[in-house]
Amino acid sequence: MPPPNTPDESLPDEEQANLAVFLPPDQPRRPDSILERRTTRTTEHQTAPSQRGPAILPLDYQVLDYVDTVDDTLLCPVCRTAFHSPIITTCGHTFCATCINRALEMQPTCPIDRKPINKTSDFHQPPLIIKEQLDRLKVKCPNVGCGHICSREHLEGHYEHRCEYTQVLCPSSWCEKRIARRYVSADSHCMHSEAPCQYCEENVAEIDLSHHYDYLCNGVTATCQQCEASIVQHRLEKHIEEDCPETEVDCQWFSIGCKVSDKRLIVFEHEKDCPYKIIGQLVKERAEDRKLIDGLMGRITVLETRAYERHERQARRAQRGSLWPPPSTTAGSQGDSVPGAETEEERYLRSSTSPEGYMLARFERLESRMEDLAKQLQDMDAYQSSFVLQQLYPINNQLVELGSKVGVLNMHTTWLMNMQRFQQRAVQTNGPGLANPGMSSAAENNAPPPAVDDYSGPHYDQYYRTFRRRNSDGRDMPPRL
């Protein structure tokens, strides 16, 4: 009879501890490595002062949705998702750091080939190429409501700093709930407290009010005149404005030049392959870049003013026959000296020259870097504009070509229709061989049709010739379609 096994040992959940041990001591620490970033980030979260948990929940890499199928070679054999903070073992197998650490809690061997693994000596950094491949994977932002797609290396920045849908702590210090960044109210009050809905008197938290109105509210309903959906009265206007499939709307690329305007449902279908989409997206991207650039420019200006003020102060001090030589790098010659009483601050600064000099030197370095950045941004801007133009040019050409093709098609169709009508007429009235293309064709046909009451052959021939002459490709035979 087989003996029972020892009871399970539950796995400790501390990622932090796991991460701390897998960096081999002899390995030089690369500050730019994913590992490093990850470790610092975790530390930050752990040291967050609040009792209410970290300001932002750490990004869960195992639930990310990748735009394209991830190549099998980049999938962790344990969690089956693209590696996150991968490490490579001495036996040559790659795993996510967390995955291999969890697996090792269970058995101190490689999950693939069962070679013994020692956390301190058998964990190595994977080749950079793997990290680069992982960084480049296109991934969707995991926040519900956000459709942002970016390369994985930028996701964390987006998620932590920019995504409007990231759940942050409620601004009210006594509330322990979380709220999407975009819904945080301007006056930082808690939006989680419940109050009765003014239409149906159900208790609803302020944050859920919009959703409640749209989907749950049982207040007085009204019927939409356009689509006959039944909507809560006070949301009817919003429904017509934002949802109703029957409302007339413009294509979202209207401002760029698409003049399509129709019922929302039709426009929605159209937008999927609107010819202006590519341009529109470029313009949008450019606007985003512009915003970024503007923000950076603003910061540069602020820094520049501050730098200038510093310079002035420094120069004043230097001119006052100072007791110390100003650091050579920062010897600003500009500056109108303002002789006068020494301020409290300056007296203090005088007593601590070297840190001051050091700071100034650093500051100037930073400043020059900011200038470089500004220049780079300008370059990028220019590049972007030329890129847009480059993209536009072939599209324009294609449009012209398409236009002319449509013209030719149109002509072929008209010709065929006339031909058919003529044949029908010939069979009905004059027997084979004679016919009139008919009066009804006059509307669609640019070529003048023969007189209405004349059914004789020559006229048809003439008509036929006239029409044939209009063929821009000069073919004698009817074109084959």
Contacts to Zn ion by CB under 5 A? 76, 78-79, 91, 93, 96, 99, 110, 112-113, 141, 143, 146, 148, 163, 170, 172, 175, 177, 190, 192, 197, 199-200, 217, 224, 226-227, 229, 244, 251, 253, 258, 260, 274
Kindly state the helix (H) or strand (E) to which residue 367 belongs, with its residue range.
helix 353-425
Burial class of residue 238 in the structure, from the number of CB atoms within 10 Å of its CB (0-12 exposed, 13-18 middle, 19+ buried): middle
Coil, helix or strand at residue 327: coil
> Bridge partners of 217?
none
Q: How far is the CB of 2 from other proteins (least distance, A)?
A: 5
Q: How far is the CB of 94 from Zn ion (least distance, A)?
A: 9
Cα→Cα distances 470→220, 411, 450, 462, 475, Å: 64, 9, 16, 13, 10
Residues 301-360 interacting with other proteins (rule: CB under 8 A): none
Write b or e for each residue in 312-321: b if 16 or more Cβ atoms lie within 10 A of its Cβ, otherwise e.
bbbbbbbeee
Q: Which of Zn ion, other proteins, none interacts with 256 (beta carbon under 5 to 8 A by kind)?
A: none
Residues 56-75 interacting with other proteins (rule: CB under 8 A): 60, 62-63
Q: Which lies closer to Zn ion via its Cβ, residue 34 or residue 274?
A: 274
Q: Which lies closer to Zn ion via its Cβ, residue 34 or residue 244?
A: 244
Map residues 147-186 to x or -, x wherever contact with other proteins holds by CB under 8 A.
----------------------------------------
Q: Which lies closer to other proteins via its Cβ, residue 142 or residue 280?
A: 142
The residue written with tokens 């101190």 in the block is 108
Candidates 80, 115, 284, 369: give the one binding other proteins (CB under 8 A).
80
- Binding of other proteins by 137 (CB under 8 A): no
Q: Which of other proteins, Zn ion, none interacts with 63 (beta carbon under 5 to 8 A by kind)?
A: other proteins
Burial class of residue 263 in the structure, from the number of CB atoms within 10 Å of its CB (0-12 exposed, 13-18 middle, 19+ buried): middle
Q: How far is the CB of 428 from Zn ion (least distance, A)?
A: 45
Q: How far is the CB of 143 from other proteins (least distance, A)?
A: 15
DSSP sequence for 421-463? HHHHHIIIII-TT-----GGGGTT-SSPPPPTT---HHHHHHH
Q: How far is the CB of 7 from other proteins (least distance, A)?
A: 8
Kindly state the helix (H) or strand (E) to which residue 222 belongs, with its residue range.
strand 221-223
Q: Which lies closer to other proteins via its Cβ, residue 78 or residue 150?
A: 78
Q: Using CA atoms, how far apart are residues 64 and 66, in angstroms rounded to an integer?
A: 6
Please, are residues 248 and 263 in contact by the beta-carbon 8 Å criterion?
Answer: yes
Q: Which lies closer to other proteins via its Cβ, residue 80 or residue 465?
A: 80
Q: Which of Zn ion, other proteins, none interacts with 217 (beta carbon under 5 to 8 A by kind)?
A: Zn ion
Structure token digits, residue 91: 């036996």
Report the residue count for the chain.
Answer: 481
Residues 94-113 interacting with other proteins (rule: CB under 8 A): 99, 102-103, 105-107, 111-112
Distance of CA 37 to the CA centre of its chain: 23
Burial class of residue 170 in the structure, from the number of CB atoms within 10 Å of its CB (0-12 exposed, 13-18 middle, 19+ buried): buried
Residues 113-132 interacting with other proteins (rule: CB under 8 A): 114
User: With contacts defined by CB under 8 A, how many residues of the chain interact with other proteins?
Assistant: 25
Residues that bind other proteins in the complex, under the rule CB under 8 A: 1-5, 8, 10-11, 60, 62-63, 77-81, 99, 102-103, 105-107, 111-112, 114
